[in-house]
């Protein structure tokens, strides 16, 4: 069976508009959480989010495309273009001629990439565009927006296609001229990790081309913030300390946006073309709790961890680092702690554990992919980024949490992603020396 290498990474996140910038910020323990600017949040309880800052979609798309595409698709395109450039599969973005024509924004690629595939996950898809369409459309006089009759006169003809979950993968393929496998995944907050795992399985099964895989999300809108807020999932703290995984005072997650895409290839093919290799994906566990719509089950999460490690062909003693899902919710962090204890037994308290969401907030599907990328860089550079804002450990969350940047020799690591509905995705990575 083929080995799978990661040869490129692209990302836009609350920490930076490239993966390099995001990684440098993560090493410094910088928070990307700040007051909401996408809309007037003065009238609601939840006033902070992990927004992109200064993102310029015109670097990757024409103005016409920008007007038609939901931000989550724009983010996916940006991350994908940076990923293929990083992997050496397309000419430098700086060489793209920024003209009015959409074709002028298509980087020159090669036949190898053309034969490749794209798998991108999203939880909420084009929710921002849908909300804006409802707000801008005319409704029957004297009735509420939700109760009135919607007029189609002001709706865009691109509303339906541009907001579909699968459009991120489809449009990335269109921009990069990829004509092979294409798949959109919506599996709640596990979607980005699922995309990487399914891409890994695709290559292991014999797929010849490279596969772009990751997640994209643009949920920072009033509907999503209030929707998650009334469910009790969001923190009521309105400053940069709001996301504080494993802390005794944690009270919910912070909604965030972004995208991260990895380039996966057959290991031998990557070596043959002289590609840089960030690491090898050696295991993937995908399970469901079959338990509850929102309440996590530690046994289901533990089963995903154990499945991934078994597929990797290694032992629990071989795991040197855990990138936790760790959303900062009271139930979620406790359940994940219990799951790690079930999966690792006595070793659970020895393994360093950290949470990137303490800095980014929860980018939903994009988080799994972004955290996978951070895990790869941690292995490559021999450092663990900190879980910030962890001031007082919950007595029920008693693992070896890293709160300051730490040097560590990491040969094998896991990255956890869990979502509503009890969906679990765990990836196992191996360092390439």
Instruction: Give the residue among 211, 191, 258, 205 at the shortest CA–CA distance from 7.
Output: 211
**Residue 68 annotated to the active site:** no
The rounded distance, in Å, linking the Cα atoms of 249 and 393 is: 9
Closest to 164 measured CA to CA, from 198, 120, 211: 120
> For residue 165, what is the DSSP state?
T
User: In this structure, what are the phi and psi dihedrals at residue 284, rounded to the nearest 5 degrees?
Assistant: -150, 125
- Whether 325 is catalytic is yes
Q: Which helix (H) or strand (E) is 375 found in, with range?
A: helix 365-381
Whether residue 66 contacts residue 102, with contact meaning beta carbons closer than 8 Å, is answered with no
User: How many Å separate Cα 224 from the centre of its chain?
Assistant: 17
Taking CA atoms, 353 is separated from 234, 356, 364, 392, in Å, by 23, 10, 20, 15
Closest CA to 360 of 58, 51, 149: 51
Burial class (CB in 10 A: 0-12, 13-18, 19+), 95: exposed
In the set 200, 221, 224, 362, the catalytic residue is 362
The yes-or-no answer on residue 362 being catalytic is: yes
Structure tokens at 68: 């038609």
Identify the residue whose tokens are 């200064």.
54
> DSSP for 169-201?
HHHHHHHHT--S-EEEE-BTBTHHHHHHHHHHH
C-alpha to C-alpha distances, 390 to 29, 49, 141, 365, nearest whole angstrom: 12, 19, 51, 24
Residues 208 and 195 sit within 8 Å (Cβ to Cβ)? no
Other Cβ atoms closer than 10 A to 104? 11
Q: Which of 68, 224, 260, 325 is catalytic?
A: 325
Task: Show the tokens assigned to 266.
Answer: 């057959």
In angstroms, the CA 114 to CA 90 distance is: 11
- What is the three-class DSSP state of 258? strand
Which listed residue (189, 200, 224, 260) is catalytic?
Answer: 189
Tokens linked to 260: 């991260």
Mind telling me the catalytic residues? 189, 325, 362
């Amino acid at each position: 069976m083929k080995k799978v290498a990661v040869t490129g990474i692209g990302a836009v996140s609350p920490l930076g508009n490239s993966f390099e910038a995001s990684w440098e910020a993560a090493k410094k323990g910088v928070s990307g959480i700040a007051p909401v600017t996408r809309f007037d949040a003065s009238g609601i309880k939840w006033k902070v989010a992990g927004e992109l800052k200064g993102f310029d979609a015109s670097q990757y798309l024409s103005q016409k495309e920008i007007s038609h595409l939901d931000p989550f698709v724009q983010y996916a395109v940006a991350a994908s273009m940076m990923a293929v450039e990083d992997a050496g599969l397309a000419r430098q973005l700086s060489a793209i001629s920024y003209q009015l024509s959409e074709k002028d924004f298509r980087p020159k690629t090669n036949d190898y990439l053309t034969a490749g595939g794209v798998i991108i996950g999203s939880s909420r898809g084009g929710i921002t565009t849908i909300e804006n369409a409802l707000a801008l459309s005319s409704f029957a006089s004297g009735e509420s927006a939700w109760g009135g009759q919607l007029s189609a006169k002001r709706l865009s003809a691109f509303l339906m296609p541009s907001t579909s979950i699968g459009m991120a993968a489809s449009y990335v393929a269109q921009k990069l001229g990829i004509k092979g496998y294409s798949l959109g995944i919506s599996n709640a907050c596990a979607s980005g990790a699922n995309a990487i795992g399914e891409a890994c399985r695709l290559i292991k099964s014999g797929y010849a081309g490279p596969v772009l895989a990751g997640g994209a999300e643009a949920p920072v809108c009033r509907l999503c913030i209030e929707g998650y807020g009334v469910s009790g999932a969001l923190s009521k703290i309105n400053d940069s300390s709001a996301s504080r995984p494993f802390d005794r005072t944690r009270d919910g997650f912070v909604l965030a946006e972004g995208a991260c895409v990895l380039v996966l290839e057959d290991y031998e093919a990557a070596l043959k073309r002289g590609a840089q290799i960030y690491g090898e994906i050696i295991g993937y566990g995908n399970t469901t709790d079959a338990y509850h719509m929102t309440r996590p089950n530690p046994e289901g999460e533990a089963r995903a961890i154990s499945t991934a490690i078994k597929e990797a062909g290694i032992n629990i003693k071989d795991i040197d680092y855990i990138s936790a899902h760790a959303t900062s919710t009271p139930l979620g962090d406790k359940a994940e702690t219990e799951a790690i204890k079930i999966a690792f037994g006595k070793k659970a308290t020895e393994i360093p554990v950290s949470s990137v969401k303490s800095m980014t907030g929860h980018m939903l599907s994009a988080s799994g992919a972004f955290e996978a990328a951070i895990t790869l860089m941690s292995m490559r550079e021999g450092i663990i980024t900190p879980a910030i804002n962890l001031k007082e450990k919950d007595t029920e969350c008693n693992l070896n949490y890293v709160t300051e940047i730490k040097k560590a020799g990491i040969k094998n690591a896991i990255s956890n992603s869990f979502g509503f509905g009890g969906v679990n995705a765990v990836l196992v990575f191996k360092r390439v020396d």
